[in-house]
Structure 1
């Protein structure tokens, strides 16, 4: 992975984890469109700084955390007044995940 082109590495990561991330995000958002938007935004961030993934040991866990943070950012941009308290957001996501 170290000697590979970073964009090829990112493409491999995308292909390997896309389905899992999409299902995870659909479970949280109940929306295919939002899930796809979050994945697109996440990988756009990764593509702007490919060095982010070079030091990751557990890729799936890192991607899930990054996807969750990207989702939180997405909701904060759309409804900033509703999300002043980050613990409320976290508890809503956790509760939503438990209901699945």
Structure 2
């Protein structure tokens, strides 16, 4: 459920004031989330700006029953995946991957960077988790919520959130070994 249904309704109707309000409210949060994944201010600024441009372009598609924050963060994360996909096809990046392979940084096969296979593998790996582990993994790592926000939402302690997340990441790290580099980039290093 969205925290600001009136602002979203106005945005869907084309209110630039409502858009600015959401921009101001979520810019820093989204910036921090994306910077945690990229560690590049330039790339982060670009991705955050693109995400908000997409919000404006797709404003009429906003689902009032879903979390705007989760939608925004998922959109930005998908843009990052698309950007990485383009980088993976860049000859300079291929040279870097060869270098990493020579340094044995867990690149097993060239197709380790197939995003469809990565997403399918992640979905299959999540089946090994308990329902609570899946829920906490998705809220923290895919939607970008803090442990405090998750604890409040699920009415459990923050320590429980950390415990479930640690268990989930341990299982997923083993299950996603063929995609360790991508899994690390998206879920472990931030």
TM-score scaled by structure 1? 0.76
Larger RCO, structure (CA 8 Å, separation 6 or more): 1
CA distance in 2: counterparts of 1:93 and 1:52, whole angstroms: 30
CA distance in 1: counterparts of 2:183 and 2:27, whole angstroms: 21
Q: Aligned-pair distance for 1:76? A: 2.1
Q: 2:55 aligned with 1:46, yes or no?
A: yes
Answer whether contact 1:10 1:47 (CA < 8 A) is retained.
yes
Where does residue 99 of structure 1 map in the other structure?
Answer: 189
Q: 2:158 aligned with 1:68, yes or no?
A: no
Gaps of 5+ in 2: 1-5, 95-110, 123-178
Larger Rg: 2
Superposition RMSD on alpha carbons, in Å? 2.7
Q: Aligned-pair distance for 1:26? A: 0.7
TM-score scaled by structure 2? 0.44
Q: Aligned-pair distance for 1:22? A: 0.5
Gaps of 5+ in 1: none
